[in-house]
Chains A and B, each alone.
Chain A
Amino acid sequence: MLTRRDFFQVAAAAAVLSGAAGGLASAAARQAISQTDLLAFKPVGQVTLLSFTDIHAQLRPLYFREPSVNLGVGEVRGLPPHLTGRELLAAFDLKAGSPEAYALSSEDFAALARSYGRVGGLDRMATLVKAIRAERPQNTLLIDSGDTWQGSYTSLKSAGADMVETMNLLGVDVMTGHWEFTYGEARVKELVEQLDFSFLCGNVRDTEWDEDVFEHTAFFDRGGIKVAVIGQAFPYTPVANPRHLIPKWSFGIREDDVQKRIDAARAAGAALVVLASHNGFDVDRKLASRVKGLDVILTGHTHDAIPAVIRAGDTLLVAAGSHGKFLARLDVEVRGGRVVDHAFRLIPVFTDAIAPDPAMAALIDRLRAPHEKELARVLGRTETLLYRRGNFNGTFDDLICQALLAERDAEIALSPGFRWGSSLLPGQDITVEDVYNLTAITYPAVYRNQMSGAALKEILEDVADNLFHPDPYYQQGGDMVRVGGLSYAIDIGKPIGARISDMRLMRTGEPIDAAKTYTVAGWASVNAHTEGPPVYDLVSRHIERNKIIAMPENRSIRVAGG
């Protein structure tokens, strides 16, 4: 699965970086990790594929804790990306406490974050991209696998325009989409018009005529060969997000169409065929095993940061993390219409080690200027680490659930298992910007509703099946719905209907009664006409009321079968 070469690249990268292990001040880390080290790479072959995915509209540096729980089921149990913490470090031969360990795992996160500082920032990403393009001017492609236009205050206020401007300046060559579609059909079309590059979705058809809505393939000449890039949007957008926003568009994995696009690209002379995909990693791994002639998949959606290329059949899979934290570089040598050699590095974007690109920094400042005062408004302070990622809970989601219960006077809170959202270190102020980084969606209403115990069980079972169905093609790629005021046990190895047990109302400790109704507050309903205050206002108000936030460890979910 991992080639010796991949391991070597990882080990080399770790060796270069691990001079800075343990307990250093950020200033020291800044000296230990240099821009030159981050860019160190022995080029291979004709084409350099640069890629990132799931930036979620993060223009500025941030903290992002990778998950400590990311379970795989069936054939992928225990395989990347379903390795976390120490297991992940061991599998990729990374030293605990090293910069790479900080970037890739959740181990000792808060302490290492103080040593190594923030990650990402599009001005830093721009510096890396420019440097690699300067080194390989005729060979480089920059590909964005989607979830770029949504996830921040400024993206929500500008309805995605800030990201279109910055991506144009960054010089992206193609992108595909998912959360992009939550701006609705008309706005998506407007923004696609404003792009200097192609928005590729080979799997989106209009429901009336069953015709392609977007371009599906773009061709490039790089390093003397023809490269085809096919786009694959998130197949379950109308299921996972409100269909009423895009009522005329139909999605799906459409494996047969992927094969047709590959064959057509080959017939048109492509020597290298790449899929820019928002399928999610496990879906892409299965897809790669079932289609022929696909050289590379640049996967997105599931936010996995994997420090090596994963092979599935003859296809190389790249998983470049999220939130602008990584830039992936894959160099390939193509001979006789197939990849005969490659080199890979998942480059962590360590903010403090990289000089900001002046043009991008200026653009970001200009885009943020009208909002800067509100973005910086302090709502309170957290005493404990706040983060979202994890299959079952995250402390920021625990805080959101606490806010839903308190502000809407509910017995039970439900909060969606999104995978985007930045982290906050103990002692950090919580600003308006931070709250939007976890909640900035176009359907933010917080409802208050009566639900039966049976309905609650059905929701938990349904979402669990979207996450733990043994066939990846039936997975939607989010995490488990977060709950407040409710405890339960889950056996992920069981079939739908049998995974969830021992549901209890935490306020009383009583078992949830299927026939009884409970008052439930939640947000991100995919139904049209949902009523209630926007979640970002509600959570902001809750933090302002409490001032000091301290989230205890969440012990309300018992997991078996992992």
Chain B
Amino acid sequence: MSKNDRPALSRRQLLVAAGSGMLMAAGVAAAPRAAHAGPAEADEAVKKLIGGASIKEGRVNLKLPQIAENGNTVPFTVSVDSPMTESDYVKSVYIISEGNPFPHVATFNFTPASGKAEVSMRMRMAKTQYVRAVATMSDGSVYQAKQEVKVTIGGCGG
């Protein structure tokens, strides 16, 4: 495994680093518990970003694994259904975590010249949690999608 695979706070790797082999893999015991955000903190973060606008479901498509293979680097793609014209386009997409130390993970801004509103990235996930993608439209409306991603200690399949 490369060094890049094992940043300091990884649940999965901590025990490896400690030289012990716990069944089902994870360093849950030894990990110093960071203060994680919860749904309430995530709501608060969203409110700061979009103000009081009401949030509708739909238009936002999240492509995420159900169970992360590696919580340190979880690949995902967000796309938003939009014609991306001067009169109707996606302005911003916010990625919100309900379980990381800081709920506001990323902001992506778009213009009609973007052509389509789609981004792929990788994010680190501290634990099993819901990930939200919140999209603000040029007409001021706001849409979101969310999905649970399990960061499991694994090891029992079979």
Contact = CB atoms under 8 A, between A and B. Distances in A.
Interface of A: 178-179, 234, 236-241, 243-244, 247, 250-253, 256, 414-420, 445, 447, 449, 451-452, 454-455, 458-459, 462-463, 465-466, 469, 471, 473-474, 476-481, 496, 520, 522-532
A175 to B, nearest CB: 17
B158 interface: yes
Contacts of A469: 150
Contacts of A525: 21-25, 155
A233 B12 CA distance: 23
B1 A247 contact: yes
B35 interface: no
B121 to A, nearest CB: 13
B20 interface: yes
5 contacts: A240-B158, A445-B21, A462-B152, A476-B157, A529-B21
Given A466-B152, A526-B154, A474 B23 contact: no
Contact of A420 (B70, B148, B158): B158
Given A247-B1, A256-B63, A445-B21, A452 B29 contact: yes
Interface string B20-59: 1111111011000000000000000000000000000000
A478 B29 CA distance: 23
Contact of B21 (A237, A418, A471, A531): A531
B152 A239 contact: yes
B114 to A, nearest CB: 22
Contact of B23 (A419, A522, A529): A522
Interface centre among A239, A465, A471, A529, by most chain B C-beta atoms within 10 angstroms, is A239
Q: How large is the interface on B (under 10, 10 to 19, 20 to 34, 35 or more residues)?
A: 20 to 34
A240 B22 contact: no
Contacts of A419: 158
Given A524-B23, A527-B21, A462 B16 contact: no
Contacts, number: 148
Contacts of A415: 23
A474 B156 contact: no
Interface centre among A179, A234, A417, A471, by most chain B C-beta atoms within 10 angstroms, is A417
Given A447-B20, A530-B21, A240 B1 contact: no
Interface centre among A237, A420, A520, A526, by most chain B C-beta atoms within 10 angstroms, is A526
A253 B156 CA distance: 18
A447 B157 CA distance: 19
A474 B150 contact: yes
Contacts of A455: 22, 28-29
Interface centre among A247, A420, A479, A530, by most chain B C-beta atoms within 10 angstroms, is A530
A100 to B, nearest CB: 27
A234 B158 CA distance: 9
B154 A447 contact: no
Given A459-B23, A459-B153, A466-B152, A529 B158 contact: no
A449 B66 contact: no
Nearest to A525: B21
Contacts of A481: 23-24, 156
B129 to A, nearest CB: 11
B105 interface: no
A473 B69 CA distance: 14
B158 A526 contact: no
Given A178-B157, A416-B158, A478-B156, 12 more contacts: A179-B158, A240-B155, A241-B157, A247-B5, A417-B156, A455-B22, A459-B26, A471-B66, A474-B67, A476-B156, A520-B22, A520-B23
Interface centre among A256, A418, A451, A528, by most chain B C-beta atoms within 10 angstroms, is A451
A239 B158 contact: no
A243 B69 contact: yes
A253 B67 CA distance: 10
A79 B154 CA distance: 26
Interface in B80-123: none
Contacts of A253: 66
Contacts of A532: 21
Given A454-B29, A459-B24, A525-B22, A474 B148 contact: yes
B138 interface: no
Nearest to A238: B69
B65 interface: yes
A414 B155 CA distance: 12
Contacts of A452: 29
A206 to B, nearest CB: 13
Interface in B8-24: 12, 15-16, 19-24
Interface in B116-144: 128
Nearest to A481: B156
Interface centre among B66, B70, B155, by most chain A C-beta atoms within 10 angstroms, is B155
Contacts of B12: 527
A418 B153 contact: no
Contacts of A420: 158
A114 B142 CA distance: 67
Given A527-B16, A528-B1, A529-B19, A243 B70 contact: yes
Nearest to A416: B156
Contacts of A236: 67, 154, 157
B17 to A, nearest CB: 10
B128 A466 contact: no
Contacts of A476: 67, 152, 154, 156-157
A466 B156 contact: yes
Given A445-B21, A449-B22, A465-B150, A526 B29 contact: no
B155 A416 contact: yes
Nearest to A497: B128
A418 B158 CA distance: 5
